[in-house]
Amino acid sequence: MTASGSPRVYDGRPVEDRRAERREQFIAAGLAVFGDQGYQSSSITAVCKAAGLARAQFYEHFGNREELLLAVYDMIQADARQALIEALSAVVGADPATRASIAVRAYAESIGKDPNRARVSFVEIVGVSAEVEKHRVEQREIWVEFVTWELKQTRGADFVPAGGFRAAATGFIGALMALVHQWSMGGSPAELEDLVEVLTHFLVSVM
């Protein structure tokens, strides 16, 4: 901000807008590089080249590659949740099987159709460091809360699944991620239909 309280402007655009845009460029580049080369084989130099930005600009946003990996992973997860929210908002009041099917398909298509998103989500994020593992578990907990909320919305406040919400939601999420990972590695449209059918039955059985 300037002394007058107005946003700082550079080349006709607010400085913060330019910073946010560069950060998004680095995240997009990280997704491309980590998805293509793998995290362990990647470098900050490769990310900067893919982003078309300078190394000094990278360090304005991230302390190291690991921080960028987490930002890429979080973006993928946030996009997948948004895809579910938008898909489910279109079928408000539908029966549980329909909502389950819509949710599974939205998740699978958000992550599984993009090889880079799938590779980062299911392969490259695993075992990088204790801090990354902690973060991955925290993201999984967000999904547990998401599924728990959907179960309560669908079945009512008095409903409690066998084994409790945490066990039911965690079990479903584990199956969902495993099958979408498998399908992302060259699965056919028919196999996607099988995946949706199996996981829909799983979720309906929980409900």
Contact predicate 79/110, CB 8 Å: yes
Give kind and range of the element (H or E) at residue 91. none
- 3-state SS class at 9: strand
Residue-level pLDDT at 15: 73
Contact predicate 176/146, CB 8 Å: no
Residue-level pLDDT at 207: 76
Calculate mean pLDDT across residues 79-104.
93
User: Burial, 92: exposed, middle or buried (Cβ in 10 Å; 0-12, 13-18, 19+)?
Assistant: exposed
- What does the alpha-carbon distance between residue 44 and residue 104 come to, in Å, rounded to a whole number? 35
- What does the alpha-carbon distance between residue 53 and residue 193 come to, in Å, rounded to a whole number? 41
Residue 73: domain span: 66-206
The total domain count for the chain is 2
Indicate the pLDDT class of residue 9, thresholds 50, 70 and 90.
low
Residue-level pLDDT at 94: 85
Q: Is the C-alpha dihedral spanning 183, 99, 174, 116 positive or negative?
A: positive
- What does the alpha-carbon distance between residue 58 and residue 72 come to, in Å, rounded to a whole number? 14
Residues 84 and 151 in one domain: yes
Q: Is the C-alpha dihedral spanning 138, 144, 147, 152 positive or negative?
A: negative
Residue-level pLDDT at 11: 55
Residues 75 and 134 in one domain: yes
The structure tokens listed for 130 are 């204790």
* pLDDT digits 0-9 by tens, 158-170: 888 888 889 999 9
| 68, amino acid identity | L
Instruction: Give the residue from 63, 86, 104 where a domain finishes.
Output: 63
Residues 56 and 75 in one domain: no
Residues 88 and 33 in one domain: no
Residues 97 and 174 in one domain: yes
Over 70: is that where the pLDDT of 203 sits? yes
* pLDDT digits 0-9 by tens, 14-73: 778 888 999 999 999 999 999 999 999 999 999 999 999 999 999 999 999 999 999 999
Q: Which residues on neighbouring strands pair with residue 10, listed in sequence order?
A: 13
Tell me the whole-structure pTM to 2 decimals: 0.88
Find all residues with CB under 8 Å of 177, minimum gap 6, and list them.
121, 122
Residue 76: closest CA among 124, 144, 6: 124
Reduced to 3 DSSP states, what percent helix, strand and coil does the chain have, rounded to the nearest 5? 75, 0, 25
Instruction: Give the residue from 16, 39, 63 where a domain finishes.
Output: 63
Residue-level pLDDT at 162: 83
Calculate mean pLDDT across residues 125-133.
96
CATH code of the domain covering residue 52? 1.10.10.60
- 194 to each of 180, 189, 201, how far by Cα in Å? 11, 9, 11
